[in-house]
Copies of this chain bind each other. A is one copy, B any other.
Amino acid sequence: MFQVGIIGAGRIGKLHAEHIQRTSMARVRAVSDVNMQGLDTWASSLHIPVVTDNYQDLLNDPDIDAIFICSPTSTHATIIQEAARAGKHIFCEKPVSFSVETTELALQAVYEANVMLQVGFNRRFDHNFKKVRDTVQGGVIGEPHLLRITSRDPEPPPAEYVAKSGGLFMDMMIHDFDMARYVVQSEVVEVYAQGANLIDPKIGELNDVDTAVVMLTFANGAIGIIENSRKAVYGYDQRIEAFGSKGCISTENDRPSTAVISTSDGVMMDKPLYFFLERYTQAYVQEIEDFFRSIQGEFPIVCDGNDGLQAERLAQAAKESLLTGRPVKLNHVTVLDRKSL
């Protein structure tokens, strides 16, 4: 059983801890957070023996095999470097950092330490999206020509969150950039972004957008589209469609039930599952199980450091495109060799 240390006990840190405690592959040995309030009670209810406000304690603990980095994004890169040097395997929440250069430095440390790093793009582990990836990979739709990702949140985050989020492309669409690469299995060579502030004026005041569309051109000739909105009043809208020379695969949202109710008012179905915690429950479980399986050598890391880096590059390019009003080519960015990560 792997022994795990969790750095950052916010919502996502706690979620991972609960899932780890349920697997038969690992146990949480320690958790750290700068805010210790209520942490003891929560930890003891999950049988987590060690609680600390200093994450260095976790890095120094020789019994800990793997670190989950769930602290704020601004701390990720530093902790990755430290954890790598301490010889720990690393699971890091997305994004690795807000800057491609910073991420590259972190990955370099991972590479040198020869530890494993998985980045938390949880959607790769969703039953629907995995089916799309597997279908494309299996050649069922032939050569990919068009890709379309719809990604809409049920409501915008508070302004304070937006201010520190890195912007829509880095905070929200970064999941979709990763999904695009995961499904098409080719690198993006050009990005063109359009965005608008149509939902919450506060987001506009922070120089961010809440509605955006990005067009991607892939090295293999395929063209992709990503649509984001911070507010879909009917709930979390997470769909994908891949079209190719031999066919098309598309997915619908998951709903609480399959019930269809017909009345004099119309024919009604359930709204989609409300948000990511509801929709991706199973994906979060799968994500950590696959992480431990990769450490055991069963298969390569499903979402590695390079994947994290490439998504950030696309987010950065999209932001540049939005600011300049022009498409942005991506061949000018230095990429670490995939194998080295």
Q: What residues of chain A have their CB less than 8 Å away from a CB belonging to chain B? A: 22, 24, 45, 127-128, 130-132, 135, 140-141, 143, 145-146, 148, 152, 190, 192, 194-196, 198-199, 211-213, 215, 217, 221-223, 225, 227, 229, 231-235, 237, 243, 245-264, 266-272, 325-327
CB atoms of A128 and B198 under 8 A apart: no
Q: When A and B form their complex, which 10 residue pairs have the shortest distance between CB atoms, in order from nearest?
A: A247-B263, A234-B262, A252-B258, A131-B257, A267-B269, A233-B264, A213-B223, A131-B259, A248-B262, A266-B268
CB atoms of A248 and B221 under 8 A apart: no
On whether A198 and B213 interact (CB within 8 A), knowing A140-B261, A227-B146, A261-B135, the answer reads: no
Q: How far is the CB of A285 from chain B (nearest CB, A)?
A: 12
From B146, B196, B234, contact of A264 by CB (8 A): B234
CB atoms of A262 and B258 under 8 A apart: no
CB neighbours of A272 from chain B (8 A): 262, 267
Distance of A143 Cα from B227 Cα, bound (Å) = 17
Distance of A201 Cα from B288 Cα, bound (Å) = 46
User: Could you jot down 10 A-B contacts, CB within 8 Å?
Assistant: A128-B259, A132-B259, A143-B198, A192-B194, A198-B245, A211-B223, A229-B243, A234-B248, A237-B248, A247-B264
From B146, B215, B264, B268, contact of A192 by CB (8 A): B215
From B225, B268, B325, contact of A213 by CB (8 A): B225
* Among A233, A245, A272, A327, residue most surrounded by chain B Cβ atoms (within 10 Å): A233
Distance of A233 Cα from B254 Cα, bound (Å) = 25
Distance of A248 Cα from B59 Cα, bound (Å) = 48
Q: How far is the CB of A17 from chain B (nearest CB, A)?
A: 14
**Identity of the chain B residue whose Cβ is nearest the Cβ of A226 in the assembled complex:** B225
Q: How far is the CB of A281 from chain B (nearest CB, A)?
A: 10
CB neighbours of A243 from chain B (8 A): 152, 227, 229, 232
CB atoms of B261 and A249 under 8 A apart: yes
CB atoms of B247 and A146 under 8 A apart: no
**Identity of the chain B residue whose Cβ is nearest the Cβ of A264 in the assembled complex:** B233
CB atoms of B128 and A258 under 8 A apart: yes
CB atoms of A215 and B194 under 8 A apart: yes
Distance of A288 Cα from B135 Cα, bound (Å) = 37
CB neighbours of A131 from chain B (8 A): 256-257, 259, 270
CB neighbours of A257 from chain B (8 A): 127-128, 130-131, 251
CB atoms of B196 and A221 under 8 A apart: yes
CB atoms of B146 and A256 under 8 A apart: no
From B148, B211, B246, contact of A233 by CB (8 A): B246
* Among A257, A262, A266, residue most surrounded by chain B Cβ atoms (within 10 Å): A262
Q: How far is the CB of A181 from chain B (nearest CB, A)?
A: 17
